[in-house]
Amino acid sequence: MRRLRDGACASSKVTGNPLTNYSFSLARRQALMLVVGQVAIAGVVALVCMALMGAAAGLAAALGGGIGALASLVQVLSGFRAGTAGDARAIARGFYRGEAMKVGVTVLLFALVLRGRTVAAGPLFAGYVATFVAYWVGLGRKMSA
């Protein structure tokens, strides 16, 4: 969301009402921090898999976590384009586009990983699913605040 020179919130082009009292740049930073959290959680899962099952399992878990985090990064970069701040329709289009791109990137990366080498499926999917924990942690923090 853009702040106008006098500190007021950006208004809807249709109704003239303030779009929100929430900062677009803050939301973008929070979304990027979510991706950082996904990378951290994926790293922990990869280390646990490596310690329990060996280096190949650790690599598979890291690849799965990397797929989840990279797909989320694509979504964040598409959904939170700086030029869309203050335009509700552009924001909505960005999020729809970002979600479609996230699904596409996820499918493409899984296809590349599974086609390119033999990987342990369990750790691969464990690393990917672990990235969703960041969403739950973020939601839990927001709900308790």
Q: Which of 87, 28, 99, 40 shows the shortest CA–CA distance to 65?
A: 40
- Each residue's pLDDT tens digit, 10-60: 566 666 666 555 677 788 888 899 999 999 999 999 999 999 999 999 999
Q: What is the pLDDT of residue 85?
A: 62
- Each residue's pLDDT tens digit, 75-112: 999 888 766 666 778 878 888 999 999 999 999 999 99
Look up residue 54 and give its two tokens.
């060996």
pTM over 0.85: no
Q: Parse the chain into domains and list their residue ranges.
A: 28-144
Inter-CA distances, 44 with 37, 47, 86, Å: 11, 5, 38
94 Cβ contact partners less than 8 Å away, ≥ 6 residues apart: 78, 79, 80, 81, 84
Tracing tokens 């899962």 back to the chain, one arrives at 45
Q: What angle do CA 104, 78, 28 make, to 5 degrees?
A: 130
d(CA 7, CA 23): 12
- Each residue's pLDDT tens digit, 49-85: 999 999 999 999 999 999 999 999 999 998 887 666 6
Sequence-separated contacts (24+) of 12-15 with Cβ below 8 Å: 12/88, 13/87
Q: What is the pLDDT of residue 64?
A: 96
Q: Do the Cβ atoms of 98 and 78 come closer than 8 Å?
A: yes
Q: Do the Cβ atoms of 126 and 61 come closer than 8 Å?
A: yes
